[in-house]
Chain A
Amino acid sequence: MTTSTASEPEDQAAKPATRRRPKPQGGGFPAALPWLAPALLLILVVVVFPAGYMIYNSMRHIGKNAVDDGWAEPTRKGPDWGVFSNFGHIFTDPNLPRILLNSLVWVVVVVVFTVVISLVLAQFLSKPFPGRRLVRMAVVVPWAASVVMTTTVFYYAMDPNYGTLNHLLEQLHLVGPDGFGFTKSPVSALGSAMAIAVFVSLPFTIYTLLAGIQSVPADTIEAAKMDGAGRLRTYFSVVLPQLRNSLAVAVLINMINVFNNLPILQIMTKDLPGYESDTLMTYIFKTMQFDKRIDWASALSVLNFAIVALIVLIYVRVVKPLKEV
């Protein structure tokens, strides 16, 4: 190991040769700007306006005719919160607690299962064996297919009358001749939806971890083996810590995407009456589709965004995904 030769004049301090060193200082934000400007520009041009518009809409009154009639007014049942009356309406919605609970369970179950299975499969797919490339390509397929279509196929296969999965279960005498109504009760529909969500999240997570595993220097693993560490111990003491960065990013993106996922639940629970199986995201779309209220849907979207942001904030604080290995 050499001591660092500073790339920038500001960073003169030669540090001991540990893996954790402060970064060289750039020339402040102005020096960084040329590197960040393209990304910033794209975000400013495309994202800021619609995001602001969503927040604005959440404080307006927009009736079923999609016309903006001015600032929000209290609804019949909701409290008078001035321009925030749409929020008053959604916070006093009796369905809300159940929906928030569903969202939480949904995101935790799906992400935990996805990550655990992905860790195992990524490790497996990093091992050389004949045909590995073909297996890797098979794994990428659920990612390549649109989530809507994957879910549709599951929904179709699970249909009690013409679904082939139910047909198979009937032939195996696991269910009666009428089939099993996977999508016909809240518990089984939510459970099936979670399984599908894990299934479609796996490829992305596996590949992120696989990419991470590729950057674990082979000699580090060799060294651990030389020290006589068992395979499990090598994994937990050498490989997993090296995966930290990829894992942190994979979990972060998964949390956001799973929380914001719409099509899986929308398709799998579309047969069910009531709101027992809704998450915040599907509820937003029911508000738009059935109640036809853009203002309430916008308020719910703002709430949705606030919750995701909060989760991410806590996650970033606890996990520190930006920290160096």
Chain B
Amino acid sequence: MAFLAVEDRAPKSRVVGRMVIGLLVAIVFLVPYLVMFLGSVKTRDEILSYDPSYLPKDGWQWDNYSAMWDTPETPLPYNLISTIVIALAATVLVLLVAVPAAYYTARFRFPGRLAFMGLVILTQMLQPAILTTGLVREMLLLDIGDTWLAMILINAAFNLAFATWMMHSFFAAVPKEVDEAAQLDGAGKFRTLFTVNLPLVWPGIVTAVIFTFVSAWNEFAASLVILTTAENQPLSVALTKFVGQYNTSWQFVFAISIVSIIPVVILFFFIEKRLVGGLAAGAVK
């Protein structure tokens, strides 16, 4: 069990103390989703029962998890694929765009540097939610209304600020000597960035990747109006299809919500170890 490994030499009592606190922290962060999960295995009537119970009383409705994939309301398998494609592509795009910009602005002074960083942060202040009218028109003008590409561009554009600023602060913390050494070896700027700097800033990349992926994964306002074909819509929009005028299929809403958390946690599982490392691992001698 790799995750049980202890890397330092803290006294045993302190380690036990940390484990207890850790358990409490985990519980606090998970309880709402436990409620969500328990709701997802109840019947609709039980969720809205005036005589609530914590655990399902009428049996655990595991078939909510199979029934939700095939409902008349929304083509859920397609929605899942759309969400994955849009979020992954937007994240990759953000990295491709933000890393060079962050590196250069952190390493070099040039006129317009502050203006550029200011422009970038403006994109964070403007959220798609209040720009939907313009976004719809724009995507129709570009002739990519109702496509994944439209949402990939939108998600990337409105989320590049954090990645750029975060990576900027990490690149800025990498000592110049690292670059200089690489360049003495004859490396160009691109190679210096990719082979020398990037491995040192993994924690920043990880945080930026999660931030972008999660934002794109859960984006709602623009997807709602831009993606009109049910198959193209992401899970966040698909969920609303279960909300009727006078009744809502809460069991499906909860089940889909639980399912949509999983890919993000899996992504996190694979990149979490990169949080350690970088400068702390002592790459700088």
Question: Is the CB–CB distance between B25 and A139 below 8 Å?
Answer: yes
Contact of A47 among B38, B158, B284 (CB under 8 A): B158
Q: Does A192 contact B (CB under 8 A)?
A: no
User: How far is B189's CA from A34's CA once the two chains are assembled, in angstroms?
Assistant: 12
Question: Is the CB–CB distance between B26 and A4 below 8 Å?
Answer: no
Contact of B177 among A2, A128, A248 (CB under 8 A): A2
Q: Which of A26, A34, A144, A322 has the most CB of B within 10 A?
A: A144
Q: Tell me, rounded to whole Å, the shortest Cβ–Cβ distance linking A270 to chain B.
A: 13
Q: Does A42 contact B (CB under 8 A)?
A: yes
Question: Is the CB–CB distance between A208 and B207 below 8 Å?
Answer: yes
Question: Is the CB–CB distance between B166 and A249 below 8 Å?
Answer: yes
Q: Does B180 contact A (CB under 8 A)?
A: yes
Question: Is the CB–CB distance between A32 and B108 below 8 Å?
Answer: yes
- Closest A residue, CB atoms, query B2: A133
Question: Is the CB–CB distance between B8 and A134 below 8 Å?
Answer: no
User: How far is B173's CA from A2's CA once the two chains are assembled, in angstroms?
Assistant: 17
Q: Tell me the residues in window 132-175 of chain A with beta carbons closer than 8 Å to chain B beta carbons.
A: 132-150, 152-154, 156-157, 161-164, 166-167
Question: Is the CB–CB distance between A215 and B133 below 8 Å?
Answer: no
- Closest B residue, CB atoms, query A1: B177
Question: Is the CB–CB distance between A132 and B3 below 8 Å?
Answer: yes
Q: Tell me the residues in window 252-284 of chain A with beta carbons closer than 8 Å to chain B beta carbons.
A: 252-253, 256-257, 260, 262, 284
Q: Which of A138, A257, A297 has the most CB of B within 10 A?
A: A138
Q: Tell me, rounded to whole Å, the shortest Cβ–Cβ distance linking B213 to chain A.
A: 9
User: How far is B164's CA from A39's CA once the two chains are assembled, in angstroms?
Assistant: 9
User: How far is B29's CA from A137's CA once the two chains are assembled, in angstroms?
Assistant: 10
Contact of B21 among A124, A204, A213, A218 (CB under 8 A): A124
- The answer to whether A245 and B173 touch (CB under 8 A), given A42-B97, A129-B15, A215-B280, is yes
- The answer to whether A246 and B169 touch (CB under 8 A), given A7-B179, A130-B4, A140-B264, is yes
Task: Give the size category of B's interface with A.
Answer: 35 or more
Give the residues in chain A near B126, CB-CB below 8 Å. 47, 50-51, 305
One digit per residue, 1 when the CB lies within 8 angstroms of any chain A CB and 0 when it does not, for chain B 87-113 equals 000000100111011011101111111
Q: Tell me, rounded to whole Å, the shortest Cβ–Cβ distance linking B139 to chain A.
A: 9
- The answer to whether A294 and B133 touch (CB under 8 A), given A39-B101, A214-B280, is yes
Q: Tell me the residues in window 217-260 of chain A with beta carbons closer than 8 Å to chain B beta carbons.
A: 217-219, 245-246, 248-249, 252-253, 256-257, 260
User: How far is B180's CA from A304's CA once the two chains are assembled, in angstroms?
Assistant: 45
One digit per residue, 1 when the CB lies within 8 angstroms of any chain B CB and 0 when it does not, for chain A 158-197 equals 0001111011000000000000000000000000000000
One digit per residue, 1 when the CB lies within 8 angstroms of any chain B CB and 0 when it does not, for chain A 31-43 equals 1101110111011
Q: Tell me the residues in window 123-145 of chain B with beta carbons closer than 8 Å to chain A beta carbons.
A: 123-127, 129-131, 133-135, 137-138, 141-142
One digit per residue, 1 when the CB lies within 8 angstroms of any chain A CB and 0 when it does not, for chain B 3-42 equals 1111110100001001101110111011011011011000
Give the residues in chain A near B229, CB-CB below 8 Å. none
Give the residues in chain B near A167, CB-CB below 8 Å. 52-54
- Closest B residue, CB atoms, query A216: B280
User: How far is B133's CA from A284's CA once the two chains are assembled, in angstroms?
Assistant: 14
Give the residues in chain A near B19, CB-CB below 8 Å. 129-131
Q: Tell me, rounded to whole Å, the shortest Cβ–Cβ distance linking A219 to chain B.
A: 8
Give the residues in chain B near A139, CB-CB below 8 Å. 25-26, 29
User: How far is B31's CA from A199's CA once the two chains are assembled, in angstroms?
Assistant: 12
- Closest A residue, CB atoms, query B38: A164
Q: Which of B96, B105, B127 has the most CB of A within 10 A?
A: B127
Question: Is the CB–CB distance between B52 and A7 below 8 Å?
Answer: no
Q: Does A83 contact B (CB under 8 A)?
A: no
User: How far is B137's CA from A24's CA once the two chains are assembled, in angstroms?
Assistant: 43
One digit per residue, 1 when the CB lies within 8 angstroms of any chain B CB and 0 when it does not, for chain A 93-133 equals 00000000000000000000000000001001101111111
Q: Tell me, rounded to whole Å, the shortest Cβ–Cβ distance linking A301 to chain B.
A: 4
Q: Tell me, rounded to whole Å, the shortest Cβ–Cβ distance linking B110 to chain A.
A: 4
